[in-house]
Amino acid sequence: MRCSRVLIVWLLLTGVGRADELSEAIAKITDVPAYKSARWGLLVVDATTGKTVYEREPDKLFTPASTTKLYTCATALAELGSDYRFRTPVYQHGTVKDGILTGDLILVASGDLTMGGRRGKDGKTLFADNDHTYGGGITPTALTDSDPTYALDQLAKQIRKNGITEVTGGIFVDDGLFPKAKSSGSGPELVTPIVINDNVVDVQVFAAKADGMPATVVVRPVTEWIQVDAKVTTGPAGGKANVSVAAISRNQIIVRGTIPAMSPTVTRISLVESPELFARALFIEALRNNGVKVRASLKEPGDHVPPTSQYDKLTKVAEYQSEPLADVIKVVLKVSHNLYASTLPIIVGLKHQNGTIQRGLEQQAKFLKSLGIDPATVSFAGGAGGANADAVTPRTTVQLIQAMAKHKSADVYFDALPVMGADGTLAGIVPKDSPVYGKCRAKTGTLSWTDVQNDRMLMRSKALAGELTTAKGTKLYFAMFLNDVPLAPGGTTNQQGKVLGKVAEAIHIHGP
Write out 290-359 in H/E/C secondary structure: CCCEECCCCCCCCCCCCCCCCHHHCEEEEEEECCCHHHHHHHHHHHCCHHHHHHHHHHHHHHCCCCCHHH
pLDDT for 140:
83
Domain with CATH 3.50.80.20 in the chain: 87-323
Domain with CATH 3.40.710.10 in the chain: 24-80+327-510
pLDDT for 306:
67
308 versus 108: the higher-pLDDT residue is 108
pLDDT for 473:
98
Mean pLDDT of 433-461: 97
pLDDT for 433:
98
The CATH T-level fold of domain 87-323 is D-tyrosyl-trna(Tyr) Deacylase; Chain: A; (3.50.80)
Give the model's confidence band at 1: pLDDT under 50 very low, under 70 low, under 90 confident, else very high. low
pLDDT for 320:
98
Q: Is residue 309 predicted with pLDDT exceeding 80?
A: no
pLDDT for 428:
96
**Range with the poorest average pLDDT among 133-142, 177-186, 224-233, 443-452:** 133-142
Which residues lie closer than 8 Å to 61 by C-beta, 6 or more apart?
378, 379, 391, 392, 393
Q: Identify which of 194, 392, 164 has the alpha carbon closest to the alpha carbon of residue 292.
A: 164
Most distant CA atoms of the chain, gap in Å: 97
Q: Is 356 exposed, middle or buried (0-12, 13-18, 19+ CB in 10 A)?
A: middle
Mean pLDDT of 408-425: 98
Distance separating alpha carbons of residues 160 and 151, to the nearest angstrom: 14
CB 506 within 8 A of CB 29: yes
> To the nearest whole percent, how much of the chain has pLDDT over 70?
95
Q: How would you classify the pairing of strands 200-206 and 266-271?
A: antiparallel
> To the nearest whole percent, how much of the chain has pLDDT over 90?
89
Kindly report the number of other CB atoms within 10 A of residue 443's CB atom: 31
The pTM of the full predicted model, rounded to 2 decimals, is 0.95
CATH: 3.40.190.10, 3.40.710.10, 3.30.465.10, 3.10.180.10. Which one for 24-80+327-510? 3.40.710.10
Kindly report the number of other CB atoms within 10 A of residue 240's CB atom: 9
Mean pLDDT of 465-476: 98
Give the model's confidence band at 9: pLDDT under 50 very low, under 70 low, under 90 confident, else very high. very low
Mean pLDDT of 1-12: 49
pLDDT for 443:
98
Q: Is residue 354 predicted with pLDDT exceeding 80?
A: yes
CB 113 within 8 A of CB 195: yes
Torsion of the alpha carbons at 149, 313, 295 and 172, rounded to the nearest 10: -50
Distance separating alpha carbons of residues 173 and 189, to the nearest angstrom: 20
Q: Is residue 461 predicted with pLDDT exceeding 90?
A: yes
Mean pLDDT of 333-359: 97
Q: Is residue 7 predicted with pLDDT exceeding 50?
A: no
Task: Quote helix, strand, coil % in the chain, to nearest 5.
Answer: 30, 30, 40
Residue type, 380: F
pLDDT for 138:
66
Q: Is residue 12 predicted with pLDDT exceeding 50?
A: no
| 3-state class (DSSP) for residue 510 | helix
Q: Is residue 15 predicted with pLDDT exceeding 70?
A: no
Distance separating alpha carbons of residues 187 and 198, to the nearest angstrom: 9
| 3-state class (DSSP) for residue 285 | helix
Residue type, 321: Q
Kindly report the number of other CB atoms within 10 A of residue 236's CB atom: 12
Give the model's confidence band at 103: pLDDT under 50 very low, under 70 low, under 90 confident, else very high. very high
- Helix and strand numbers (H, E) in the chain are 10, 19
Give the model's confidence band at 139: pLDDT under 50 very low, under 70 low, under 90 confident, else very high. confident
Distance separating alpha carbons of residues 390 and 456, to the nearest angstrom: 23
| 3-state class (DSSP) for residue 438 | coil
CB 171 within 8 A of CB 284: yes
